[in-house]
Chain A
Amino acid sequence: MSNLRNVAVVGFAQAPIVTRDLHRTSQDMLYPQVRRALDECGVSRDDIDYQVAGSSDYIDGRPFGFVMALDVMGSWPPRQDLHVEMDAAFAAYYAWLRMQAGDCDTAIVCGYGKSSEGDLDRVLNLQLDPFYFGAIGLDPVATSALQASAFMEHSKKSDHDFAAIAARNRAAGVRNPDALLREVADPEVLSESEWVTGPLRRGYMSPYGETAVCLVLAAEGKAEAMCDRPAWIHGLDQRIEMQNIGARNLATSAGAQLATQKALAMAGLTAVKDCDFVELSATNPAEEMILCQAMDIDPEEERPVINPSGGPMCGNPIMMTGLIRLGEVFRQLSGRAGDHAVAGAQRGLAHAASGHCLQQNLVFVCGSERRWT
Chain B
Amino acid sequence: MSQPPETPIKYIESAIRLPYHHVAGDYRARYLRALRDKKILGSRCAATGKVFVPPIMSAPHSFAPADEFVELADRGVVTTYCVVNIPVIGREVELPYVAASVALDGADISIFAMLQECKAEEARMGMRVEAVWKPDGERTGDHTDILYFRPTGEPDAPRASFINRL
Give chain A's interface residues, CB within 8 Å of chain B.
Answer: 20-25, 27-28, 31, 35, 45, 58, 61, 70-72, 74-76, 114, 117-119, 122-123, 126, 130-131, 134-135
Contacts and interface: CB of A to CB of B under 8 A. Distances in A.
Nearest to B20: A61
Contact of A117 (B14, B21, B57, B60): B21
Contacts of A70: 60
Contacts, number: 61
B18 A74 contact: no
Nearest to B66: A31
B12 A135 contact: yes
Given A31-B58, A71-B56, A72-B58, A25 B25 contact: yes
Given A71-B60, A76-B60, A61 B22 contact: yes
B14 A130 contact: yes
Interface size band for B: 20 to 34
Contact of A22 (B18, B19, B23): B23
A117 B23 CA distance: 7
Chief secondary structure at chain B's binding surface: loop
Nearest to B19: A119
Contacts of B26: 23-24, 28
B18 A23 contact: no
Chief secondary structure at chain A's binding surface: loop
A126 B58 contact: no
Contacts of A72: 57-58, 60
A25 B61 CA distance: 19
Nearest to B61: A76
Given A35-B63, A119-B18, 20 more contacts: A21-B23, A23-B25, A24-B23, A24-B25, A25-B23, A25-B24, A25-B25, A25-B28, A27-B57, A28-B25, A28-B57, A61-B18, A71-B58, A72-B57, A72-B58, A74-B63, A76-B63, A117-B20, A118-B20, A131-B12
B1 interface: no
A243 to B, nearest CB: 17
B57 to A, nearest CB: 5
22 contacts: A21-B23, A22-B23, A23-B25, A23-B26, A24-B25, A25-B28, A28-B57, A31-B57, A35-B63, A61-B20, A61-B22, A71-B58, A72-B60, A74-B63, A76-B61, A76-B63, A117-B22, A118-B20, A119-B18, A126-B16, A134-B14, A135-B12
Interface of B: 12, 14, 16, 18-28, 56-58, 60-63
A81 B91 CA distance: 40
A20 B58 CA distance: 22
Contacts of A21: 23
Closest A-B pairs by Cβ, 5 of them: A61-B20, A74-B63, A25-B25, A71-B60, A130-B14
Contacts of A24: 23, 25-26
Nearest to A38: B63
